[in-house]
Amino acid sequence: MKSISYPKIFVTKTKTGLVQDYDATLQNLKLLIFSEKGELFGDPYFGTGLKRFLYDQNDVVLQDLLIDELYTAIATFIPQIKIRREDITIISNGTQVVCKIKAINRVDYQTNLYTIPLLEASV
């Protein structure tokens, strides 16, 4: 699988930057996770609703809600990976929140671990 590189979209004036395989899937996951529903013109359901949980109390219920939101979005909009709900973990250590996603790539059937920082607090 190939995807247009972001933020380095243009390599030269006539050539577009591309990423492939693991990097393309990681980039697509980040685009999906950090997009809010309704932000993308043409598909108002693309994205997640993670911003609404930003100031909620950190507990097990919130963690389950975040995992549900992520799982639903990934299963709907990223068909190149196969994922189960149990393969998504959210780790919080007080200053940052990290999402770890274990998924099987449907192109070459390799298991990959994607680590995406959801929130980092500057101290």
pLDDT of 8 higher than 80: no
Q: What is the pTM of this model?
A: 0.83
Q: Could you report the per-residue pLDDT of 37-81, keeping only the tens digit for each?
A: 888 888 888 989 888 888 777 778 888 999 999 999 999 999 999
Q: Which amino acid, 57?
A: Q
How many Å apart are CA 15 and CA 43, to the nearest integer?
28
Which domain CATH number covers 99? Answer: 3.10.450.40
Query: Domains in the chain: how many in total?
Result: 1
Could you tell me if 95 and 71 are in contact, meaning their C-beta atoms sit under 8 angstroms apart? Answer: no
Of the pLDDT bands very low, low, confident and very high (cuts 50, 70, 90), residue 122 is: low
Q: 35 φ, ψ to 5°? A: -90, 135
Q: In the prediction, which pLDDT does 123 show?
A: 56
Q: Please give the residue that has the higher pLDDT: either 7 or 114.
A: 114
Alpha helices of the chain — where are they, by DSSP H? 22-34, 60-77
pLDDT tens digits, residue range 75-105?
999 999 999 999 999 998 878 889 999 999 8
Pairing of strands 88-92, 96-105: antiparallel
Range of the domain at 87: 2-120
